[in-house]
Copies of this chain bind each other. A is one copy, B any other.
Amino acid sequence: MTDITKPPFENILITGAAGALGSVLRDSLRPYAEQLTLSDREPLGDVRANERHFVCDLADRNAVFDMIKGVDIVIHLGGAPRENTFQVILDSNIMGSYNIYEAARQEGVKRVIYASSVHAIGFYECTQTIDANVPQRPDSLYGVSKTFVENLSRYYFDKFGLESVCVRIGSCFPKPIDRRMLATWLSYEDFSHLCIQSIMTPSVGHMIVYGNSNNSANFWDNSQAAYLGYRPKDSADAYRAEVYANTPVGDPRNPAVRFQGGQFAADGHFEDSKTK
């Protein structure tokens, strides 16, 4: 019989904890662990009860190994949050995520929840309904780094049995603010719910799940992650009239309108201005 006076996990690490999504989980995951370990490059404010704070760069291997000791669940949100130079992507997202996975493996972490992104598949057209098994089609170097971690986590599961849920987050903001977000919007509450399902499901293996709310317009078929039991409760539809009133009708030939990645699919290469 489980001791129901105790939370189900001992220590949940949240990386990128100072960001908007990290702040959301800092509250909502509190009942699920005896201790929360929070990590970010930026200061995390006051240390609340049952929290540990680490201000560090994930590219610093020793720092990552230190903070992961005793952790049983990792929620990995840290890294560059949008397109950047390849060097920044390499350090923050590729090296940083490798350190997380290698430390998790060596320290016996049970499961990692990874904040992947729509930009891992941003070059599919909005009119294509895709599931989690389609070949990745990143729309940016940022998106390429997301596919890197998805594949790295697959490797850690196949070889070492370290479970992962990779959540391809659409647009996680307080509310949808353009017409594309009528499909991609993920409310903060639904994001929390999805993370909680991801840690509470008995067996997840290696799974990829799309993260958007219960929006009428949708690009994604989440049926392959049905065992997670994710049932979003919010909907971008509540903001439809407001979005229509505030945003222009797009041209369907514009890549930002045509592709799931939106503006990321339309932007020139980040380093164009720097080279040649």
Contact = CB atoms under 8 A, between A and B. Distances in A.
A216 B229 contact: yes
B202 A215 contact: no
B90 A94 contact: yes
A217 B221 contact: no
A54 interface: no
A2 interface: yes
Given A1-B248, A148-B148, A106 B139 contact: no
A229 B202 contact: no
Interface stretch (A18-26, A36-44, A125-133, A167-175): A125-133
B147 A159 contact: no
A60 interface: no
Interface residues of A, number: 84
A269 interface: yes
A252 B135 contact: no
Interface in A179-224: 179-180, 182-183, 197, 200-205, 207, 215-221, 223-224
A217 B246 contact: no
Interface stretch (A45-53, A74-82, A150-158): A150-158
Interface in A50-75: none
13 contacts: A102-B271, A127-B203, A127-B205, A127-B227, A139-B159, A148-B151, A183-B227, A183-B229, A202-B249, A202-B252, A203-B250, A217-B227, A221-B223
Interface in A223-245: 223-231, 237, 244-245
Given A86-B98, A94-B94, A201 B223 contact: no
